[in-house]
Structure 1
Amino acid sequence: MSLRNDIEIIVAIDFGTKYSHKKNPEIIINDSWPGQIGALRTNTALQYDENYENVLEWGYEALIKEPQRKGRDKNFANEPVELFKLHLSAIPDSEKPPLPRSLDYKKAITDYLREMVLTVPEEYPEKSKRILRECVYNAGLIDYLPSERLFFSTEPEAVAIYCMQILKELEFFGTSEGKSFLVANCDDAIVNLTTYKFISTDTPSDVIEHTSDFCGNNYVDKEFTKLLKRYVGDEAIKILEERNYGQMLYMMQAFRGRVKYSFSGIQQDFKLCEFDLERLCPAIMKYVTGSYKEKLEKDYWIIGFDFETTKSLFDPIIEKIIRLISGQLKNRSGCDVMFLLGGLSDLKYFRKRISEEFENKVKCIFPRKSQTAIVQGAVEYGLKMEIIKARIYVSNVWYSQSHLSD
């Protein structure tokens, strides 16, 4: 293709629900973001001015910088905006996060891409891909709307290509004919399970089964929010999210750092974690009423998480994923290798539960830096686009047929 002869640089952008990252064809991971050094991705977040016209902060800094209050600074900023990517997906409207009335999700996506200088989830309908292309054009990343310099690869395709590189390193191909591998991409909102079968030693593979469900990384955060409601009441959380969303995000970040990513599920290693609401989220003290307030005042506005309470935040999501994996392994009479990727695969407790459940059934691989799996596979696709030969449409999901030729 003559166009590809003119391409010198390939950039893959994983436009994530909560995080985004990019990569160049030398397989060098971008690790320098505004306010972050050494991070492999940055938050998919924006902070706008009062009228939601101009972006004041982008990525990680949109979450950590305290908004200027009205009357104190002419650059008054709204609370950070997150999760706008979910408005592109085919998930039910009830699962889509609310956005400010004066902010259209297309503008948020365009503004984010403009600041950022794609891979897409497989469940994205063609309409969403057209909207993404329009946003990329409006952000100035392509010169004209139907530009052939913008290609979309689905996340399962990119992840599968990435996994193939690992299998090569493990010298799996020597005896690969007839074998299969399962990719469990446990991302922020949706967990996608895809099983691939090698059709020859040098021509993997056909997709032989795919399942997905809403049980990703975000749902652990939702369990934490449910737990907070038990201590402060539903109404207090509702008002907090409406009036002081920045403080809610700050408290969520504290949960992720102090609980979510440190909990191992081993009781001997566990230390009681306490949340001082007066320090972490002072605004909520104004919204808690009745018996909730009386109890918290007696406890000096401190919430403690014991082992079983902490474990209960993870178990509903992990058990659902275990059922999904078990069902797919059973339907296909097992497989030889299973890759665990995505945000959940970074959690110590998730790794422990999955390893214990499946260690005698399939070889489990948790790749290092799995959070970059999508962009690594997307770059490989950009370098060798013939990897994806043809796509077939099955059950409202795009699949690839023989799309991983060596």
Structure 2
Amino acid sequence: MKHPRIQSLSLDDQKNHFVVGIDFGTTYSGVAFAYSGDTDTIGVIKQWPGAKQRTSEKIGSLIIYEGDGTISAWGAQAENKPRKSGQTKARWFKLLLDDSQSNYLVTATQYATKPFGMTAVEVATDYLRLINTHLINHLKTTYGSGLFECTPIEYFVTVPAIWSDKAQAITRNAAINAGIQGKLEIVREPEAAAIACAHSGHLIFEEGDRFLVCDAGGGTVDLISYEVTTPRPLKMKEITIGTGGLCGATYLDREFEKLLREKLSKYGDQFLNEKSLASLLQDFDEYLKVNFGEDEDEDEFSIILRGCDIDEDEEAGISAGCLIFTRDEIVQVFDPVINKIIQLIEEQVTNSKETIKTIFLVGGFGSNGYLRNRIQGRYPHISVQQPVDAWSAVVRGAVIHGLREKIVTARHLRRSYGVSCNSQWDPLIHDLDQYYVCEFTGHARANDCMSWYARMGHEVQHGQSIKFPFCHKVGEKKDRYVYDLLCSDIENPPRRASHSSVTALGQVVVNLTDDQKQLYRTRNSVTDGFEYYELCIDISMKFTASLLKFEILLDGKVAGEAVIKYE
């Protein structure tokens, strides 16, 4: 049955559109949607193929491939399905999309799986195609085929806060290749979560209030801090650089498996075979991981040890067919992971100059009671809150972002951006190996210099543009120029382009038309008077919610969009 508000939606209203948020997660993914003509209703998909009667706001980021590359199961269909000979269960492939994060790559190499011969981008494309197909079917069922067919869709796909510009572009391209058409934007996960928390209505913000969002998911944890600049209508700005780490709930599984192997080592394959381990880990995932910490007086925890015919084994913790754990044992599973999260929070609190008023915990792991208690104990002066529907906060926030754009008005740059250039020689700044004399002007110059136009940590307004000016002096007119845009992830970027911290962001290619070639100016060399040509080209880089956008300016006028080819 359709929502009562949906019954009255008009097929003739062509101004409206669907807004869809996709939280493409490392371990679980979710989808939310809204109709722009009914902005008060945000739906979250809770019914998934293979889930039977079970509803869930998220579905496993899993695909089972057959040996010939065909897909036999995904999401809930693949979660508990044993892998057969010749099959590959693809998981954790999202982390392989960002090759700039060395810690991600180490973990991804250990745990990510994909079919031999397929790239992570191809697997991500397959997964997003499956997600989008299910979404479209759901929208048709919810709103009716008539309204669906005449209504465009705007998509907002979320990514971790610390992902590189290249990884964001790769994710966007994977979505396009998956058949996602129309408007498509990338949104950072903690920003989407912050928007959802700020719109929850249970907390009244005042101008100047500062809060931190900790999005603790299955694989990654992302954090950003914000300041409310206008409470009504809500506007806010970043006050810290987004940070994150690989310390999500899945790492609890690793610690719990270590504990299982210690307790049951003498029984070997009887309880530690692949099937038994999977069953124990599933019980941990569905019960202990979720509920631990809610009752601080509970000292003993148990899960069923299937196939157990042992009455009692105090050393192993076996009793009446159950495996018993003490509170200290479970604490030892949680603490190594939570300690890393608290370290990330500490960095945010310190960088905000101790001005954080509220910490919002969102994401699947963000709902855990022990995590909340540990953080509240560390920061007794800060209100630590777990919003209702914390697991779907990111995907709902992505939809709100789409419905009410420009909620976040300013962001802090996560890296510095610039270009390699030649500069006027200065013996106090430059090294001797940089010295040369310009053949056109006769002036002393220095090569291998960096010109940084946007620096790490600087605040930029939403939609703000920064120009990269290039002035070319050539003997013959050229119709094509290739620009290398560079970046650095260290706090104080270096002066020289050859420094080890300077990496290539990508190339921007400019092809000049015959009319644009008329903009060359004729000059005469001061050294011997021969003619040469000068052309000034600006590359404008615009900062949005995530992806960088580029334009070409000739003679101060926009000459078209520029496409960056990422390294």
Aligned counterparts of 2:329 and 2:197: Cα–Cα separation in 1: 35
Q: Which of the two has higher C-alpha Rg?
A: 2
Letter paired with 2:287: R
Q: Any conservation in 2 of the 1:12–1:22 contact (CA below 8 Å)?
A: yes
Question: What is the Cα deviation at residue 248 of structure 1?
Answer: 4.9
Name the counterpart of 2:27. Answer: 18
Quote the residue 1:366 is aligned against: 386
Tell which deviates more after alignment, 394-403 or 112-121.
Answer: 394-403
**Contact residue 338 and residue 362 of structure 1 kept, 8 A:** yes
CA contact (8 A) 1:122 1:398 kept: no
The match for 1:355 among 376, 380, 384 is 376
The alpha carbon displacement at 1:394 in A equals 2.8
Structure 1 residue 98: Cα displacement: 3.7
- 1:255-286 Cα deviation digits (max 9, x unpaired): 2123222322746434342563757xxxxxxx
Instruction: Give the deviation of 1:303 after TM superposition.
Output: 5.3
Contact 1:205–1:401 (Cα < 8 Å) also in 2? no
Cα deviation per residue 1:344-373 (whole Å; 9 max; x = unaligned)?
222232223333443x31122210111111
Specify the code of the residue in structure 2 equivalent to 1:24.
Answer: F
1:49 partnered with 2:97: no
Please give the alpha-carbon distance, in whole angstroms, between the structure 2 residues aligned to 1:400 and 1:377: 22
1:123–1:247: structure 2 CA closer, same or farther, 3 Å change rule?
Answer: farther
> Of the candidates 140, 143, 166, which is equivalent to residue 179 of structure 2?
140
- Alignment of 1:193 onto 2:223: yes
C-alpha change, 1:207 and 1:111, in structure 2 (3 Å) is same
Which whole-Å CA distance do the structure 2 matches of 1:122 and 1:105 have between them? 20
Aligned residues: 359
Structure 1: runs of 5 or more not aligned: 71-76, 143-147, 280-294
* 2:24 and 2:30 in contact (8 A); partners too: yes
Distance 1:378 1:321 in 2: 23
Aligned-partner residue type, residue 204 of structure 2 = E
Q: 1:375 corresponds to which residue? A: 395
**Cα distance change on mapping 1:307 and 1:136 into 2, 3 Å:** same
Partner of 1:120: 159
Contact persistence 2:215–2:222 (CA under 8 A): yes
- 1:206 maps to what in 2? 237
Q: What are the equivalent positions in structure 2 for 1:1-80 lying under 5 Å apart?
A: 8-25=17-34, 26-36=41-51, 37-51=54-68, 53-67=69-83, 69=84, 78=87, 80=89
User: Map of 1:235-384 to 2, 5 A cutoff?
Assistant: 244=274, 248-264=277-293, 266=295, 268-274=297-303, 276=305, 304-331=324-351, 332-358=353-379, 360-384=380-404
Amino acid at match of 1:158: A
Displacement of 1:252 in angstroms is: 2.2
Counterpart check, 1:81 vs 2:120 = no
Q: Which runs of 5+ in 2 are unaligned?
A: 1-13, 35-40, 133-156, 309-314, 417-455, 463-567
CA distance in 2, matches of 1:262, 1:201: 35
Q: Distance in 2 between matches of 1:41 and 1:400?
A: 34
- Shift in Å at residue 33 of structure 1? 0.8
Say if 2:160 and 2:188, in contact at 8 Å, map to a contact too: yes
**SS of alignment partner, residue 199 of structure 2:** helix
**CA shift at 1:315, angstroms?**
1.4
Structure with the bigger RCO (C-alpha within 8 Å, sep 6+) is 1
Query: Which residue of structure 2 lines up, in the alignment, with residue 289 of structure 1?
Result: none
For the Cα contact (< 8 Å) 1:14–1:119, is it kept in 2?
yes
Q: Secondary structure at the match of 2:18?
A: coil
- 1:227 equivalenced with 2:256 (yes/no): no
Number of the residue aligned with 2:5:
none
Q: Which letter maps to 1:185? A: D
Choose 331-340 or 263-272, whichever is displaced more.
263-272
Deviation at 1:206? Answer: 2.5
Q: What's the CA shift string for 1:91-137, capped at 9, x where partnerless?
A: 52211124243443222211111111111112222222232233223
CA shift in 2, pair 1:355/1:136, >3 Å: same
Q: Map of 1:162-177 to 2, 5 A cutoff?
A: 162-166=196-200, 168-172=201-205, 176-177=206-207
**Could you state the TM-score of these two structures normalised by the residue count of structure 2?**
0.57
Identical aligned pairs, as a percentage?
28
Describe the SS at the equivalent of 2:355. Answer: coil
Higher fraction of strand? 2
Letter in 2 for 1:9: F
SS at the partner of 1:32? coil
Report the counterpart of residue 130 of structure 1 in structure 2.
Answer: 169
Aligned residue in 2 for 1:145: none
SS at match of 2:176: helix
TM-superposition CA deviations, 1:284-316 (whole Å, max 9, x none): xxxxxxxxxxx98x9999854222111210112
Contact 1:110-1:138 within 8 A present in 2 as well: yes
CA contact (8 A) 2:211 2:358 kept: yes
The answer (yes or no) to whether the contact 1:390–1:400 under 8 Å persists in 2 is yes
Contact 1:188 1:218 in 2 (8 A): yes
> What is the TM-score when the length of structure 1 is the normalising length?
0.77
Work out the CA distance in 1 between the residues paired with 2:362 and 2:339.
17
| Of 202, 209, 225, the match for 1:179 | 209
